[in-house]
Each structure stands twice: as C-alpha cells, then as structure tokens.
Structure 1
Amino acid sequence: MENLQELVAEITHVLQDKPVTKELQNFLNDEFPPESDVFQQIQALCKRGMEEGWLGKYEAEGLRYGRVIKPSPQTHGHSVDVVLMKDMKGPYHIHPTGEIDMVFPLDETAAFDGQGLGWKVYSAGSGHYPTVRGGEAIVLYLLPNGEIEFTKPK
C-alpha cells in the first residue's frame, strides 16, 4: 500500500495548484499518459490488489470498492478510492471538490463513463451515475479532501 501512496503522490504533487476542470483531464493525459511509468505502475498495483483482495474489500450489488488512502499531506489532500465494475451503473453521487479518475479497463472494450484507458475528470459540484460499459474496469478515484456525497439526482 505504501508504494501505491508514493506513486499517487507523484501525481497529486502536480495537482496542488490546478483547478479540477475538464482541462485538467487533457493535462493529465499529456503529463501521465497510460504508457507512462507512473500510470502503468499504478495500474499494475490496482490489478494485483483486486486479485489478491487488499483492494476492493467491500462489495455491494456487484460493485467492489474501498477507500485505500485517506486524504493526507503525503497525498496533497487527496483520498484514493478504488472500484471494480463490470457492465453496470453505480450509485449517483456528487463531487463537492471534483473527481479525478484513472481508468484501467480489464476488457479491451470496457469504458468508464465513455472513457477507456486514461484519465476522466469531473469538476467541482458535478454529479453522475458512474457507469462501466463494454466489460470490466478498475477505476481509481482521486478525491480532493476526500469529498464525495452519495445522494439522489436533482
């Protein structure tokens, strides 16, 4: 788990002064593309963690999930949640301070909210039903201040 925190910190260090907007998604895909060492190492750790059971310890309605790192100075105020989904729609939630996602498809055609391998960013105040189509995917959520609110859509 320490190694995951160190790798995530390489990314969150760069995020410190950046607003969580759609432009951040482009920035992350340029700075930490799927073929980068950091992205690939995090992807491999998440796959291994799901296989070995130290990630995704909780399960509900076919969704494996869990917060693995709380917000801290080491992660520059970001929490880390990791979720495994297969062809499903998860519970609606809003992102008071935004949501930054790393998408790791386990099936070639799998996509999280339309995004295949790579980054997906939701701005502060946005909300959605997280959805995976086309197979199975792991999604790593970076949440500024660990903020997420499960609620009903307005």
Structure 2
Amino acid sequence: MESNTNIVDKASTLDVSQHPTAQKLIARCCELFQEVQDLTPGEDLENRLNRVYGPGTPYYEDFSSFIRAGVAEGWVAQTEIDGRTYRRGRIVEPTAATRFFSITTVYMDSNTSPSAEDDVLRGQYHAHPYGEINCVIPLDERAELRGMHGWQGAGWTSPAAGTHHFPETRGGALVALFFLPAGRISYNARPGMPQPVVT
C-alpha cells in the first residue's frame, strides 16, 4: 500500500445515467438522509443506526439488495486501489438532493487479497473531518469491517468528526456503502496522531 504522502483519491464518480439500479440506490439513500440529516456522527448515532436501521429493516435490506446487484452489474467500487480486492468508487457528489452527503462504495476482500495479513486486509489510512455514516454489507457471511468501536458485520458504523484509522476487513468480501457530510475525507492523517476526545 502506498504511503499517505502519495495518496490521491483517484476513484471516479459514477455516470449513474447508465445504471438504473444505482439510481434506485441514490433515491433510497435520499430518503434515509431526510431522517438522519440533523444527527451527528459518532458512537450514539452508530448505536441508533444499528438499532433502528439494522439488518432486517427495510432500509438495510434495500441497500444490501441494490449493492449486491451493483457488484454483479459492475458499477460498485469501480476504481481499483490495490487490485480487484480493494476498490472504491463515488456514486454521487454532495448535492441539495442528498442533503449534502456524498455516496461512495468500497469493496474489500480479505480472503483473496495478496495484501491481507492474518486474514485482515488493511486499506488507506484516512480521517473523517466531519464524520461518516457507513453501511456494512457483507458479501461473505463472516466478513466484518473494523470501525472505531470494534468489528462490525452486517450493520452500521459511524466514526465521529476528526477520527482517523486504517479501514480493515476480515472474514471475506464486503462492501462499505458510506455517506460523508459535504463529501469530506482526508488522507493527511497519520497513525499515532491523537484522536478527538469524542469518538
């Protein structure tokens, strides 16, 4: 994996006019944004998302269905970051319709990546200047994403503003469908830098 000093977010923005399923996903995301637009990313929101919008709920199941279809159709996480096993792609930039959240997908597969160590695939170190809302969609049953509060299978994570970490997965392939306030993500953070008091 390249050092942070050389990282450029090269993930292109999807031409959604070519992908009807992506259009459906965006429309469904916009409905969720209406419900969460005034909530603050962090542990309290993470708990609420898992309680109210977790697996088995209409939002989660719709997101999972659209993302699985998108993987099959080839528009999810279309830009390779480290080969086919670590990819990222922005679906839409922040707009008034999305309540100024961006929508991005990341695909990570710890089972088949040559970069994985001890079944853990580590991605690019980054910070969430305004926090993040992240829907974890395992494609393999055991797949998990490591959030700021531990490993998360099917469900949600929500790092608070200013937090930073390596994205890590284990147990197979998953897609992280994540929403960034104002589309803000930073690759200038470094491991060992202090975290904000509230995470």
Give TM class, smaller chain: over 0.9
Choose which of 75, 84, 88 in structure 1 pairs with 2:98: 75
Matched letter for residue 37 of structure 1: P
Distance (whole Å) between structure 2 residues aligned to residue 28 and residue 91 of structure 1: 25
Aligned residue number for residue 153 of structure 2: 116
Q: Does 1:10 align with 2:31?
A: yes
Aligned residue number for residue 30 of structure 1: 51
Aligned residue number for residue 84 of structure 1: 107
Q: Does 1:105 align with 2:142?
A: no
Aligned residue number for residue 55 of structure 1: 76
Q: Secondary structure at the match of 1:17?
A: coil
Cα deviation for residue 151 of structure 1 reads: 2.5
Normalised to the residue count of structure 1, the TM-score between the two structures is 0.95
How is 1:129-144 mapped onto 2 (pairs within 5 angstroms)? 129-144=166-181
Q: Secondary structure at the match of 1:137?
A: strand
Distance (whole Å) between structure 2 residues aligned to residue 51 and residue 146 of structure 1: 26
Gaps of 5+ in 2: 1-21, 111-120, 194-199
Q: Which has the higher strand share?
A: 1
Question: Is the deviation greater in 98-107 or in 27-36?
Answer: 27-36
**Alignment RMSD:** 1.1
Aligned residue number for residue 151 of structure 1: 188
Q: Secondary structure at the match of 1:81?
A: strand
Equivalences, count? 154
Q: Secondary structure at the match of 1:75?
A: coil
Cα deviation for residue 24 of structure 1 reads: 0.2
Q: Which has more radius of gyration?
A: 2
| Residues 41 and 131, structure 2, Cα contact 8 Å, conserved in 1 | yes
Q: What CA deviation, in whole Å up to 9, does each residue of 1:107-141 have, x standing for no partner? A: 11110001000001100000010011111111101
After the TM superposition, list the runs of 4 or more consecutive aligned residues in structure 1 that deviate by more than 4 angstroms. Answer: none
Question: Is the deviation greater in 40-49 or in 117-126?
Answer: 40-49
Cα deviation for residue 31 of structure 1 reads: 2.0
Normalised to the residue count of structure 2, the TM-score between the two structures is 0.74
Distance (whole Å) between structure 2 residues aligned to residue 20 and residue 66 of structure 1: 22
Gaps of 5+ in 1: none
